[in-house]
């Protein structure tokens, strides 16, 4: 598949509770369209502490921003404040921010998380408690974490194509403007 050719690059942030399918979709979408995917968990695992991880993530995103390439980012999307910071950063670097919210019920997400051994049941409950769903003003693309990748990608591509359409030219007036005011008709009651 070709890389995404958009009129303006997008900074795509994955949103959802642990085990919802964010990573699965992001990895597949990145592979399909040859877009960079930055998974903050991978960078955090390679860092000695949270501060070093934050510095490393900032550095990687800063270098990526120089390319002007659409990319996918997963991490720190649990609160509206973090998503707002990401959107402001993206706009400041010439990107259109885009949030993809992967929705999956808590029971399924917990089962996936426990099976992957990525969190304990208690840590999952804490993450669920701290999650703030996107507000409509954030204009997230909502996909189901239980649907196939093909149907998820179709929803995302539809929105991206809407963002990528050139502005329509204004429609010409059906009636030419009156050149002479003596020809206008005034109705009086």
- Give 57-84 pLDDT, tens digit per residue: 999 999 999 999 999 999 989 999 999 9
Long-range Cβ contact pairs of 23-26 (< 8 A, separation 24 or more): 23/74, 24/149, 25/100, 25/102, 25/143, 25/145, 25/149, 25/152, 26/72, 26/74, 26/100
* Distance (Å, whole) CA 126 – CA 121: 9
Burial of residue 10 (CB within 10 Å: 0-12, 13-18, 19+) is buried
pLDDT score, position 160: 87
Fold of the domain spanning 10-166: Rossmann fold (3.40.50)
Of 134, 60, 68, which is closest to residue 99 (Cα–Cα)?
Answer: 134
Q: Domain segments of the chain: what residues?
A: 10-166
HSE value, Cβ hemisphere, 13 Å, CA-based, for 49: 1
Q: Are 170 and 129 contacting, i.e. CB atoms less than 8 angstroms apart?
A: no
Q: How far is CA 93 from the centre of its chain?
A: 16
Indicate the pLDDT class of residue 161, thresholds 50, 70 and 90. Answer: confident
Of 107, 145, 110, which is closest to residue 124 (Cα–Cα)?
Answer: 110
* pTM for this prediction: 0.81
Indicate the pLDDT class of residue 22, thresholds 50, 70 and 90. Answer: very high
């Amino acid at each position: 598949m070709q890389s995404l050719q958009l009129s303006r690059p997008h900074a795509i942030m994955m949103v959802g509770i642990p085990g919802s399918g964010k990573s699965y979709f992001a990895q597949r979408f990145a592979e399909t369209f040859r877009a960079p995917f930055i998974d903050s968990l991978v960078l955090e695992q390679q860092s000695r502490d949270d501060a070093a991880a934050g510095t490393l993530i900032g550095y990687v995103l800063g270098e990526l921003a120089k390319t002007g390439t659409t990319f996918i980012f997963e991490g720190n999307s649990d609160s509206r404040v973090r998503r707002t910071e990401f959107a402001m950063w993206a706009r400041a670097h010439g990107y259109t921010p885009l949030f993809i919210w992967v929705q999956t019920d808590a029971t399924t997400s917990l089962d996936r998380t426990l099976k992957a051994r990525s969190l304990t049941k208690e840590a999952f409950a804490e993450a669920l408690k701290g999650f703030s769903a996107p507000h409509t003003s954030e204009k997230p693309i909502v996909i189901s974490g239980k649907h196939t990748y093909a149907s998820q990608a179709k929803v995302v591509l539809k929105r991206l194509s809407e963002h990528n359409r050139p502005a329509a030219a204004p429609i010409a007036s059906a009636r030419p403007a009156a050149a002479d005011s003596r020809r206008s008709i005034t109705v009086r009651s």
